[in-house]
Amino acid sequence: MAEKRFDVTHMPGVATIAIVTFLALYIPVLILVVNAFNASDTAGRWEGATLRWFAAALDNTAFRRAALNSAIVALTAATLSTVLATAAALAVTRGRHIKGQGGIFVILNQPLLVPEIVFAIALMVVLAQVKQATGYQGLGYVIVAHTTFCIPFAFLPIRARLSGMDLTLETASMDLYASRFYTFRRVTLPLLLPGILAGFMLAFVISLDNVVVSSLIKSPGQETLPTYLMGELRRNLTSEIYAISALLLFASISIVAASWFVTRTRQ
Amino acid sequence: MLDIRSLSKKFGAGNSAFHALKSIDITIEEGEFFTLLGPSGCGKTTLLRMIAGFEQPSGGQLVLDGKDIAMIPPNNRPVNTVFQSYALFPHMTVAQNVAFGLEARGATPSEVAGRVDEMLEIVQMSHLRDRKSSQMSGGQQQRVALARALAPRPRILLLDEPLSALDLKLRKQMQVELKRLQREMGLTFIFVTHDQDEALTMSDRIAVMEGGTLQQVSDPRALYDHPANRFVAEFIGDANFLAGVIADAKLGMAGQPPVPLPRNEAANGPVTVMIRPEQVVVGPLAKDAITLNGRIETLVFSGNDTQASVRLQNGETLRLRAQNNLHAETTLTEGQRLQVSLPLDALRLLPQEAADAA
């Protein structure tokens, strides 16, 4: 192509802006991680590397309980939301045209449209009534709440995968004596799997680092990792908090990386 | 074997309804290589999809071995398809693809294994049995698609333009192989194509379709030599159409005195006279021919023959093909005045259609 097109990457200063943005995003995180390994009690003075804070965190029963809660909530909410999102994606892309299909998108994207704090307060008010009526105080409320806002995140990669899938494959399966269910099990589902995994991991991460909804919905005494950290912060900024933050960060990054890897290789 | 009886399909309803097929009747025989030929949008693919079960007819019957299958879902029909895009399952190996139909039908593992080996042998793909379909060339995918569709021993194999994605050389080679396979195994093929050469070289019988209707069903030779109408004559091969008038078993055309016809095939009145360019003879013929005067307007050399466009005295244009034989008696040059002869037995009298009059 001889004709020169406008290309933003050729504008002056693009590289500089990119580098500054990158540093602004990652330097604070890097400092936090470094502090988590710092032998000194006070941040900012490096006294050699240690795993002491990690050991202290793992020894801390309150942290362990919060981590376990987070894991339970994230796993269950991600699983539930992925199942629902898969069903929704199948209905939208495969089913006959349903009346008011636009409405489905409004429902699915509710968590993106309604401010999180508004949703959290609304849910808190309703669930408070339910808690009083049933007497149940468990993690179920947090799980249900997390499931709702995880659905759109699980939905997007699944739907993308489904709409990119060649419909002829399902036709071919039906042509080769497969029932609808057999076709779903042997053709649609295996081909959809990378999308489902990506959706699941995305939902898992979204649930894992949620603060606002968790802190308003949880019953007294219940903590997830982020709400536990918030509580600890109010009292004292210790190196143990850095270590816990670093752990949360590693968990999040590895899951996102894994999901990226899965979608890349299983195309 | 397969009786297609007044089959019709319309999409939509009311005034905006589109009639993809208008009451089609065909009988396809066991062991036949039957081709549905026509331009895109003629209804050939809709007909194929209905035989496969992907579309439901709006009316009519599809009788296979004495049983109406029109409303039976595709997974219960003993009919398999080779798709234009092959539609191989990308997450499965070659062998798994071929095994799919057998497994879906509930064949035992040993049956499946035996049949898969046999099919891969037939299409010469045994050495690639553990490959994923994404790692294969178009020709290889084509063979796997064929093996997969034939493995469950369908009563009829449907082929939806299966060769259109291949390059010319491979396409020719696959044409020969497909034909050989069909003949040796005694299979019944229904083949859809828009490529008339492909249809002529492979088929036992061809159904030419246009606008959702059958134009003509016959063997390739008859289709080429005796087209039923102008559309068929034009779609299959190259054709000249000249105006003529029949009166008392004599044909008059291009201002020439009427010539008696060997057989009185047409009623009195205007007709369209069709002749293939290769049937036109340069120079006068002693008898049973109409000889006309004209002038060569253009010459196109195309290797084995030369195509000339001749302007006749009455203003009509006649195209002819002359073999480029070194020992040919006459050479053609542009602007040359010449006599051309139309042998009477090479003329086809077609009913005049509304479009011809214009």
- Domain count along chain B: 2
Q: Which residues in B lie closer than 8 A to residue A168 (C-beta atoms)? A: 83, 85, 87
**Domain extent for A119:** 59-265
Same domain, B309 and B167: no
CATH number at residue B105: 3.40.50.300
CATH number at residue B246: 2.40.50.140
Whether residue A166 and residue B85 make contact (CB cut-off 8 A), yes or no, is: yes
Whether residue A191 and residue B104 make contact (CB cut-off 8 A), yes or no, is: no
Q: Name the band, by pLDDT with cuts 50, 70 and 90, for residue A255.
A: confident
| A203 part of a folded domain | yes
Tokens of A174: 């039906």
| A44 part of a folded domain | no
Domain boundary residue, one of B213, B231, B249:
B231
Per-residue pLDDT tens for B4-61?
Answer: 888 888 888 777 788 888 888 999 999 999 999 999 888 899 999 999 999 888 888 8
Same domain, B108 and B213: yes
Measure the CA–CA gap between A205 and A251, rounded to whole angstroms.
Answer: 8
Q: What pLDDT is recorded for position B151?
A: 93
Same domain, B45 and B150: yes
Per-residue pLDDT tens for B169-196?
Answer: 888 888 998 999 999 989 999 999 999 9
Per-residue pLDDT tens for B319-347?
Answer: 998 888 777 666 788 888 888 888 888 88
Same domain, B137 and B31: yes
Measure the CA–CA gap between A179 and A187, rounded to whole angstroms.
Answer: 11
CATH number at residue A112: 1.10.3720.10
CB-hemisphere CA count at 13 Å for A105? Answer: 8
Per-residue pLDDT tens for A87-108?
Answer: 988 888 877 666 666 777 777 7
Contact (Cβ atoms closer than 8 angstroms) between residue B81 and residue B150: no
Q: Tell me which residues of chain A, numbers 177 to 216, contact chain B at a CB-CB cutoff of 8 Å.
A: 177-179, 182, 186-187, 190-191
**Count of CB atoms situated within 10 Å of the CB of A169:** 20
Q: Which residues in B lie closer than 8 A to residue A187 (C-beta atoms)? A: 89
Whether residue B75 and residue A186 make contact (CB cut-off 8 A), yes or no, is: no
Contact (Cβ atoms closer than 8 angstroms) between residue B104 and residue A174: no
Domain boundary residue, one of B231, B248, B263:
B231
3-state class (DSSP) for residue A25: helix
Residue B138 in this model has a pLDDT that exceeds 70: yes
Residue for token pair 């080679």: B173
Q: Looking at the partner chain, which of B74, B80, B89 has a beta carbon nearest the beta carbon of A169?
A: B89
Same domain, B85 and B198: yes
Q: Name the band, by pLDDT with cuts 50, 70 and 90, for residue B98.
A: very high
Same domain, B107 and B125: yes
Q: What pLDDT is recorded for position A143?
A: 93
Same domain, B198 and B305: no
Same domain, B100 and B223: yes
- Domain count along chain A: 1
Same domain, B10 and B133: yes
Same domain, B50 and B194: yes
Q: Find the residue in A nearest to B74 (Cα).
A: A175
Q: What pLDDT is recorded for position B40?
A: 87
Q: Name the band, by pLDDT with cuts 50, 70 and 90, for residue B271.
A: confident
Same domain, B134 and B260: no
Q: Tell me which residues of chain A, numbers 63 to 102, contact chain B at a CB-CB cutoff of 8 Å.
A: none
| A129 part of a folded domain | yes
| Interface size, chain A vs chain B, as Cβ–Cβ contacts under 8 Å | 60
Domain boundary residue, one of B211, B231, B251:
B231
Same domain, B33 and B166: yes
ipTM for the complex? 0.80
Residue B356 in this model has a pLDDT that exceeds 60: no
Q: Which residues in B lie closer than 8 A to residue A176 (C-beta atoms)? A: 75, 80, 100-101, 104, 148-149, 152
Whether residue B100 and residue A173 make contact (CB cut-off 8 A), yes or no, is: yes
Q: Which residues in B lie closer than 8 A to residue A178 (C-beta atoms)? A: 75, 100-101, 104
Residues 6+ apart with CB under 8 A from B249: B260, B261, B264
Tokens of A139: 């993690």
A169: contact with B, CB 8 A cutoff: yes
Q: Name the band, by pLDDT with cuts 50, 70 and 90, for residue B81.
A: very high
Residue to mutate among B100, B102, B144, with most A CBs inside 10 A, is B100
3-state class (DSSP) for residue B269: strand
Residue B166 in this model has a pLDDT that exceeds 90: no
Q: What pLDDT is recorded for position A267?
A: 46
Mean pLDDT of the residues in chain B: 87
Averaged over A184-211, what is the pLDDT?
91
| A88 part of a folded domain | yes
CA distances from B78 to A166, A178, B8 (A): 24, 12, 22
**Domain extent for B37:** 2-231
Whether residue B75 and residue A178 make contact (CB cut-off 8 A), yes or no, is: yes
Whether residue B91 and residue A190 make contact (CB cut-off 8 A), yes or no, is: yes
Whether residue A172 and residue B52 make contact (CB cut-off 8 A), yes or no, is: no
Averaged over B110-123, what is the pLDDT?
92
Surface-to-core class of residue B66, CB atoms within 10 Å of its CB (0-12 exposed, 13-18 middle, 19+ buried): exposed
The alpha-carbon gap from B230 to the nearest alpha carbon of chain A, in Å, equals 36
Contact (Cβ atoms closer than 8 angstroms) between residue B48 and residue B36: yes
